[in-house]
Amino acid sequence: MKQRINTHSILRKILDYVVLTIAFLLTRQYIAAKGDILFSQLNFLLLLISTLTWTVTGSSVRLYDSYDKTGSFSYEFVAILKTVLLHVCVFTFLFFYFFKLYPYPRTFILLYSTYLFSGILISKYIVKKLLLRLQTNHHNPKNVLIVGTGETGMNFYYTIHNNNRYGYTCVGFVDDQSNNEINGQYLGKLSELTKILETNEIDDVVVALPGKSKEQTEKIIAASERAAKRVRIIADCHQYCTPTASMNLYGNFPLVNIRFCPLDDPGNQRLKRALDIGFSLFMFTAFSWLFLLIALLIKLSSKGSIFFKQERWGLKNKKITCYKFRSMVVQNCEVDSNNQFLQATRNDSRVTQIGRFLRKTNLDELPQFINVLSGEMSFVGPRPHATPLHIESRETVDHYMLRQMVKPGITGWAQVNGCRGETRHSGQMKKRVDMDIWYIENYSFWLDCQIIFQTMMNMIKGDKNAY
């Protein structure tokens, strides 16, 4: 399968490199005025490091996504801010450990970051506004003929009519049946298509017929191409697509991916796995004393084992054994008389005294780093549920099983946004699942870092829903 080069993305990167270089030279000019030389081999190395860092970080935080398709600048602003902050971290690290003799390092970092952030922000804002203006005031809008007056055809008409930036003007509709919403734009039946194409100035023909109209579609394509018109077909699966949908061509077969999952990319998988292994080894090394202390307190405070093992479901719906520090008294059954899973409740009598503290601070989850090291779980991901709750939810909550597309996590986007505790009410689990799906479709290395930071903050201040 051949991949097309995204010229738009390349041009945006080149513009960023120009801004980056100008910001670097302006910073060096200021420092040179204080008695240093303007440029040197070391400065060239720093500029190269800055360019490489910007490239890698920009791609990781999705700085070069097609933000021009939306009128909002907020998403791009956040991506720019993350990239500049990483630059601050990189240069601080370099000056502290490797380039200790670099003149005026603090001044350099402050000025360079200010120039870079301001320059990138202004340039991208201007480019975005110019693109939107060009798309809105399209000098040569295409005349489109919509074949089909059903729901699909009308929805497409309203889309292009309400968004001038798509550059389409509707000439009219063709179908065997008219529609009261067409407002006089009905041009005729399908049998009259050839005549309509000859008597109207049309650039594109958009086919918006049901998939079952295969023979009709073939005739429409043949008639349109004889009249030298481009044909575009609205896929019959459009109603199932999400905003992250994409399409790949395998031979002559277009495959529509109705959901985008960044973790399908092997590079993202390796990056996430590296973070999981690195963080897990750090936790076991730096906090081994804490593991031993918690184990001792559990053993002294109540009867039973130190660890609690429970069957849960992981990637691709495979069963895993999830480890936790035991925070409840030993019990024989996980379900009640109605076969409903016994979730932990506020002031639950089953929770031990030390267990209440562990659950409040998330310290009961620490043994799950064993699951992370073994590759069954990730540090960040959708929280896995016990088997009874999992089976119950997959039958009652829409899209629940999409959570199994990635490894479950110790913490997740839903958890740091307050979705913890009981899920007795119908909307509670749905909200949690929606957040998990959002995370799956918007994963990035920096999003994981944000979730980890928020988790640590919640551990320090406590979570009202953790009990």
Instruction: For residue 409, give its domain range.
Output: 266-461
Residue 251: the pLDDT is 65
Residue 245: name the closest of 440, 441, 432 by CA: 441
Residue 423: the pLDDT is 62
221 and 299 share one domain: no
Instruction: Provide the number of structural domains found in the chain.
Output: 3
Would you say residue 466 lies in a domain?
no
How far apart, in Å, are the Cα atoms of 169 and each of 40, 114, 142, 151, 215?
56, 44, 6, 19, 27
d(CA 145, CA 171): 5
396 and 415 share one domain: yes
Do residues 351 and 345 lie in contact, with contact meaning Cβ atoms separated by under 8 Å? no
d(CA 176, CA 172): 14
d(CA 238, CA 150): 14
Would you say residue 110 lies in a domain?
yes
Look up residue 51 and give its two tokens: 């360019």
CATH number at residue 165: 3.40.50.720
Would you say residue 146 lies in a domain?
yes
Residue 322: the pLDDT is 92
Would you say residue 467 lies in a domain?
no
Would you say residue 284 lies in a domain?
yes
Domain boundary among 245, 260, 275: 260
Do residues 334 and 388 lie in contact, with contact meaning Cβ atoms separated by under 8 Å? yes
Residue 387: the pLDDT is 85
Would you say residue 317 lies in a domain?
yes
The pLDDT tens digits along the chain (467 residues) read: 334 445 667 788 888 899 999 999 998 888 888 777 777 888 888 889 888 888 888 877 777 776 544 445 666 777 888 888 888 888 888 888 787 778 888 888 889 889 999 998 898 888 877 766 665 555 567 888 999 888 888 888 888 887 766 778 888 899 888 877 787 788 888 888 899 988 898 888 988 887 666 788 888 888 888 888 888 888 777 666 676 677 766 666 677 777 778 888 888 899 899 999 999 999 999 888 999 999 999 888 888 888 888 889 999 889 999 999 888 877 656 555 555 656 666 666 777 888 888 888 888 889 999 999 999 999 999 999 888 888 888 888 888 888 988 999 999 998 888 877 666 666 778 889 989 998 998 888 878 888 888 888 887 776 666 65
Dump strand ranges (E) for 73-224: 142-147, 168-174, 186-188, 204-207
132 and 177 share one domain: no
How far apart, in Å, are the Cα atoms of 158 and each of 22, 142, 143, 146, 154?
44, 16, 15, 12, 6
230 and 175 share one domain: yes
Residue 22: the pLDDT is 93
Indicate the burial class of 40 (C-beta count within 10 angstroms; 0-12, 13-18, 19 or more).
exposed
d(CA 421, CA 346): 8
End-to-end CA distance of the chain: 51
Residue 226: the pLDDT is 85
Domain boundary among 260, 293, 317: 260
Residue 82: name the closest of 445, 379, 455 by CA: 445
164 and 123 share one domain: no
Would you say residue 11 lies in a domain?
yes
Residue 130: the pLDDT is 76
Residue 250: the pLDDT is 66
Residue 397: the pLDDT is 87
